[in-house]
Structure 1
Amino acid sequence: MNAPGTTPEQVPDRDAALRWRRVHPVTPMVRGWAVLGGALFIIGQQTLDGGPNEGGVVGLLTSSYWWTVPLGLVLIGLIGFGFAVLAWRMTTYAVGDETVHLRRGVVFRQQRHARLDRLQAVDVRQPLVARLFGLSELRLEVAGGSDSGIAIGYLRDADASELRNELLARAAGLKATTAPAQGPGGVPGTAGPGDPGVAETTPDVPSGAPEAPERPVLEVPMGRLVASLLRTGVTIFFAAFIVGLIVTVVVTGTPQVVFAVIAPFIGIGGYLFNRFSTEFAFRVAISADGIRLRHGLLETRAQTIPPGRVQAVSITQGLLWRGRDWWRVQVNVAGYAADSDSGTTNVLLPVGTRDEALTVLSLVLPDLGIDDPRAVLEAGLSGDSRTPGPFTGSPESAVWVDPVGWRRQGFAVTGRALLLRSGRLYRILTVVPHERTQSLGIAAGPLQRRLGVASFEVHSTPGPVSPGVHHIAAGDAAELLEEQAARARSARAHAGPERWMEAPR
């Protein structure tokens, strides 16, 4: 099976020259525990829900056949780890000059190929169990659908970092000049000599290349992250939910009501903890490879987004953040799904000051193509139709369809990007580089048509950012559609090469 954005017709000619390598032999220990953990969770849940006279697992534990439960766990664990070992034996990967290849599958064999010139981002993930063994998973996101990525895991931390550097160098257009020094099986500590289909060395690969130097940009303090989570509508609802639950138990005298609402209680609490865990110790840096992000408490992640791969950027501010002037920056990156890891991979800044948010935006789009970008961005962040500036706003007739936020609706065009602002209570500024415009659209309902207004949409890759501006004058929307289409064609024609370290042709 081929990942979207690949060229399967080239594969047969290249396979003979590839040298295949296995992932780390401890990988089955990292993956196999999930089966045993699932079995323990089911048994524990049944034990807590049941009683000594209800049969099932509880009945077995209280009978003379109690030993069948641990025996069953052992058998389940052996089956799970055995399957993980087979999966490890059948998983190999190879790196070519232009593509990355991955073979896997026990029952159904699968081979995937990802073109390096379509590489959108490179992640190094360390789940909690993998961190105990000093292992990491390398995930490549390429332009395509929601399942276009390739995950290579698990590798030793040093090997994963070297492979990341190698792939980023190849994606940038640098050519291999040296052969790596490798241990048995192509990767130190993996398969030994003589294993079928796995080479002992991998020639002409710049493994061991030093990591490109980086310049730290900012780090989100833990105190600010916690305070930002407390200043969200979810947290306020969660607190009100707990207070209401306590009052209900005291008034009715029936503590059993707690068990009836335990599911939403766990769901809301889990969401808040997941936000804290995934955005913990969030750091941003810049290097020749692109934007580097590091974050995570239980599972650490090191992301590298190469230059020019961001499709759209949104800077948002909730009502409760307005007193501190905090902002959140999210992006659309081709290959990242909108709900990937709860959207964390699409976050450039979980919470930051106005200056920090604009600094992060400048990493994505260093030049807006205007003389005074700060004034334009300030008008987009907190201005409205009464604020002087380049934004074209909604007509007064829009008050009938958007009585609260119609003054915030507006758009501005610079030499490099289209800026769209919206939201009175929840402020949004969206920035779309002209060359990243996928397609455009205008929508108008019956009431909008009667009022002479329309909604303008910029279609982007899947992600948390939905570029658009609503209830602007229909004539302005039609003119913007025609002019933005022309700007997008011109910008793509003059865009740099996909391999950003190659000279433009």
Structure 2
Amino acid sequence: MSDPSRPAAPEPSVLPGGGSSSLADGDWHRLHPLTPLFKGGLALLIVAGIVIGNLRDRLIYGFVDLFTPRGTRVEDYSSGDPVDWVLSNNLLVVALLATLAVVAVLSGAFWLVWRFQQFRITDEHVEVRKGIVFRSHRRAPLDRVQGVNLTRPFPARLIGMAKLEVVGAGTDANVPLEYLATARAEAVRSDILRLASGARAAREAARAGAAAGSARAAAPGGAAGAREHFLGNLNQGVSGLIDGVDRADLVPESVVKIPAGRLIGSQVISGVLWFGFFAVLLGVVLAFLLPVALGNDDGDGLVILLGAGLGMGVPLVIATVGITWAQISKSLRYSIAPTPDGVRITYGLLTTVTETLPPGRIFAVEVSQSLLWRPFGWWTIKINRMSGKSAAQQQSGSAQQFNVVLPVGKREDVERVLALILPDMPPQDLPLVWEHGILGPGPDDPYRTIPARAWWRRPVSWRRHGYAVTEFGLLLRRGRVWRKLAVFPLARLQGVSIAQGPIDRLQRVAWGQAHTVVGPISGQIVGLERDDAVALLERVSRGSVQAATHDHSHRWAARA
């Protein structure tokens, strides 16, 4: 319920291009002036500093030999402090001029790069063009937008900058806008999602015959205005760094609050699994070396064995700590909240990431629980979504993080998140998710599972391994040590197939595959009765056509 004491937010004005911000008017705009510095300039300066540091003596000697006045002894400079040598020979002016020349060259190069980077937002596309010698032009159709991610790397947060990434439907289809002032990036994100949902057409129809859109707010002019704008962004960035997640990303309030102790504890427990895996590998290697060590009479074998253990054990411990800390830092300050443009998820300790998932862009949902989490009643939720990245990029840790919508939570947290990301799931399907799915099997199990004669295909979980089909989706239940339940909405299922090999024919079983976008959730199920596999194919094929016919989630603003 809305708070009557709180003043209502003013409705954003509409510009000729259909957007509500000055950057979504259909014209070409430039990115933040400091974009070249954060996109590679920092690395360039670091590399240049290393090179100059290594070649300092040679560079200074050659420079002095060319430009110093007569009477200055170049041989006096060997490898001492260059500042003392410059001051003792009255070359301060020459050194300052050389420094200013280098700064001017770098500033000119950054300015050229910035001038040739532009973007525009129309009622059909988001476009970015850049490059001086090698030009590139990227375009993302608004009706294919799968989401908009807003990332604030730690250095950029200090001066109020953010990176906006429009997620497209295809391999390497993302269109990045890096960088913008944080306030502008949030306004552009809202405009892109609003235009992608069809809200622009509905808004124009509702305001037909009205006066032209309001004039743009004038930006401060001159050098004083630019300085004031930069200082304002810097102040906002420092304040946001202290406060954590931007307040605009928490309106409305997050439906799930994860205590820091639970988050750290869950990742430490997962780190124990990694450590156990590495310890087993180390034990296997040492087992092969043990006979050699025992067969050595002079005692060197034990020294070799001890050295091998330390040489491999220390890096394994460091790797385990590094993986655990990376997962903790990525998941801190987590929040998830509904917005008019979809589900908004924010997380990150130093580098914060805010992603907005519009309705109809989630292709699969999986609730899972490891054996070590079971005493605490903790669960995690992952999704399959269009990432717009290549296969190599999807293997990175940052790409995998976008597929986690709940790092760790209790049952009530899982229910709240499922209600957000699967809002169209009918209430009668909920028992298939919890009582029979996540916690099952129970009495009168409605899932079709592996028959007893094919138990060897899943020796531990063959009683759980199965599927159920409703008018809304396909549910796959798997695992006993690591319990999983996957939900595939039929309206967004890409296809389904069944297959049968020679051994399958002997046992009269088959396996099925639900085809969806690439992600951490697998749609494969094995060892089904042949009749159950055929029923799976028929029911999912028929149900997918009916669900897709009645699905209008991609036009969420028009439906609202």
Scaled by the length of structure 2, what TM-score is found? 0.71
Give the partner amino acid of 1:293: I
2: CA distance, partners of 1:495 / 1:261: 54
Q: How does 1:19-418 map to 2 (within 5 A)?
A: 19-31=27-39, 32-37=41-46, 64=79, 84-145=110-171, 147-175=172-200, 177-183=213-219, 213-232=251-270, 233-237=273-277, 252=303, 258=310, 264-337=316-389, 338-339=394-395, 341-371=398-428, 373-374=430-431, 376-384=433-441, 387-418=443-474
Identity %: 35
Alpha carbons of structure 1 residues 255 and 503: separation in structure 2 relative to 1, 3 Å:
closer
Shift of 1:66: 9.6
Alpha carbons of structure 1 residues 394 and 260: separation in structure 2 relative to 1, 3 Å:
closer
Residue pair 1:117, 1:499 contacting (<8 A) in 2 also: no
2: CA distance, partners of 1:503 / 1:25: 39
Larger of the two Rg values belongs to structure = 2
Alpha carbons of structure 1 residues 240 and 481: separation in structure 2 relative to 1, 3 Å:
closer
Alignment RMSD? 3.8
Residue pair 2:471, 2:547 contacting (<8 A) in 1 also: no
SS in 2 for 1:499: helix
SS in 1 for 2:534: helix
Residue pair 2:268, 2:324 contacting (<8 A) in 1 also: no
Higher share of residues assigned helix: 2
SS in 2 for 1:138: strand
Shift of 1:65: 9.1
SS in 2 for 1:29: helix
Shift of 1:311: 0.7
For each residue in 1:146-188, what CA deviation from the matched residue of structure 2 results, as whole angstroms up to 9, or x when unmatched? x111110111111111111111211222226545325389xx9
Shift of 1:274: 1.7
SS in 2 for 1:479: helix
Alpha carbons of structure 1 residues 482 and 422: separation in structure 2 relative to 1, 3 Å:
same
Residue pair 1:118, 1:498 contacting (<8 A) in 2 also: no
Unaligned runs of 5+ in 1: 1-16, 45-62, 191-209
Alpha carbons of structure 1 residues 445 and 375: separation in structure 2 relative to 1, 3 Å:
closer
For each residue in 1:172-219, what CA deviation from the matched residue of structure 2 results, as whole angstroms up to 9, or x when unmatched? 22226545325389xx959xxxxxxxxxxxxxxxxxxx9995242012
Residue pair 1:212, 1:287 contacting (<8 A) in 2 also: no
For each residue in 1:377-409, what CA deviation from the matched residue of structure 2 results, as whole angstroms up to 9, or x when unmatched? 33111213x543321111111212221121111
2: CA distance, partners of 1:106 / 1:258: 52
1: CA distance, partners of 2:303 / 2:105: 49
2:13 maps to which residue? none
Alpha carbons of structure 1 residues 242 and 66: separation in structure 2 relative to 1, 3 Å:
farther
1: CA distance, partners of 2:370 / 2:456: 24
Residue pair 1:229, 1:235 contacting (<8 A) in 2 also: no
Residue pair 2:365, 2:382 contacting (<8 A) in 1 also: yes
1:482 maps to which residue? 538
Residue pair 1:123, 1:140 contacting (<8 A) in 2 also: yes
For each residue in 1:219-240, what CA deviation from the matched residue of structure 2 results, as whole angstroms up to 9, or x when unmatched? 2221111111121211444678
2: CA distance, partners of 1:259 / 1:433: 49
1:49 maps to which residue? none
Alpha carbons of structure 1 residues 143 and 93: separation in structure 2 relative to 1, 3 Å:
same
Residue correspondences, number = 444
Alpha carbons of structure 1 residues 265 and 178: separation in structure 2 relative to 1, 3 Å:
farther
1: CA distance, partners of 2:388 / 2:360: 15
Alpha carbons of structure 1 residues 24 and 481: separation in structure 2 relative to 1, 3 Å:
same
1: CA distance, partners of 2:107 / 2:531: 64
Alpha carbons of structure 1 residues 165 and 397: separation in structure 2 relative to 1, 3 Å:
same
The answer to whether residue 481 in structure 2 is matched with residue 425 in structure 1 is: yes
Scaled by the length of structure 1, what TM-score is found? 0.78
Shift of 1:317: 0.9
Alpha carbons of structure 1 residues 83 and 474: separation in structure 2 relative to 1, 3 Å:
farther
1:5 maps to which residue? none
2: CA distance, partners of 1:114 / 1:451: 49
SS in 2 for 1:220: coil
1: CA distance, partners of 2:315 / 2:522: 31
Residue pair 1:339, 1:463 contacting (<8 A) in 2 also: no
1: CA distance, partners of 2:52 / 2:372: 43
Shift of 1:80: 7.9
Residue pair 1:380, 1:429 contacting (<8 A) in 2 also: yes
2: CA distance, partners of 1:38 / 1:447: 60
Shift of 1:41: 8.6
Give the partner amino acid of 1:252: V
Alpha carbons of structure 1 residues 472 and 426: separation in structure 2 relative to 1, 3 Å:
same
Give the partner amino acid of 2:177: I
Shift of 1:39: 6.9
Unaligned runs of 5+ in 2: 1-24, 54-77, 83-94, 205-212, 228-247, 290-301
Give the partner amino acid of 1:369: P
